[in-house]
Amino acid sequence: MAKAEKDDLSSVRRNHRLWLLKHEVDDERFSQIIGDIAGLIRRSERACERAAAQDNPDYAEAVADIESDYLEEIIGASFLVLQAKIRRVDKAAERLVTFMKEQHGITANGLDHQRLFALGGNYRKTGRSRIELIWAVGNYYKHRDEWNTEVWKNRPAGAQGRDPLGQSRGTRQTVEKVGIMQFSTGNMRRAFKFFQIDPYSKCEKLAEKVQDWAKQVYQAAEEQCRPSRRKRK
């Protein structure tokens, strides 16, 4: 190994903020939780399958209605778990940026929030990355009951000043790209279908994509922190 590479690796090991980011990236407990959720979803799928096999359409429909309501909540919870992983990695990267600036006078341009969330590029021609869409769906699930009907409308043309509903409207506009609609009782299932989770119990695939993104964040951070690549501002 060349001396410059050894110096770089030694510096990475000494950078405790970079190490803490690696810890958040490598922590896969969220994947285990998603695995538990997948098991719960599979139970619902089996309940519907058993009901359908009874040759009693009314009974099958009743079971499907009950399980659909349950699935909406459990799928929503899965997005909150994914969002928690994204948040922890993003915050660890943010603390690393602050550390590099305060301790070394170095601006880590490649680690700002918007660039990290945009990693992976445009997903399914939505103009948003997969991570941005997952994040927005999580926010929708958390706050949907708080939204009034005005959130589902665009701000009137010519309106002046700060839009008090701007953040909620922005989330709504993003989740509409996933297929979420006002008054729909199947929005969370629709979100899974958009992310190509079929059947719903295969939701661990989405956790794998979030984990891939987390690894990309660490790779970007490691690159920014290598002494041979740094540029002082």
pLDDT digits (tens, 9 = 90+) for 131-188: 999 999 999 999 999 999 999 999 988 888 999 999 999 999 999 999 999 999 999 9
User: What pLDDT is attached to residue 1?
Assistant: 43
Contact 63, 48 (CB under 8 A): yes
- Local structure of residue 155 (DSSP, 8 states): P
**pLDDT band for position 86 (50/70/90)?**
very high
State how far the Cα of 202 lies from the Cα of 37, in Å rounded to an integer. 10
**What's the mean per-residue pLDDT of the chain?**
90
User: What pLDDT is attached to residue 227?
Assistant: 61
Give residues with Cβ within 8 angstroms of 130, minimum separation 6: 120, 123, 195, 209, 213
Contact 233, 106 (CB under 8 A): yes
pTM here is 0.89
Per-residue tokens: 18: 């970079």
State how far the Cα of 105 lies from the Cα of 232, in Å rounded to an integer. 6
For range 30-57, the mean pLDDT: 95
User: What pLDDT is attached to residue 9?
Assistant: 44
Q: What is the pLDDT of residues 97-115, one digit of tens each?
A: 998 888 878 788 789 999 9
Contact 218, 22 (CB under 8 A): yes
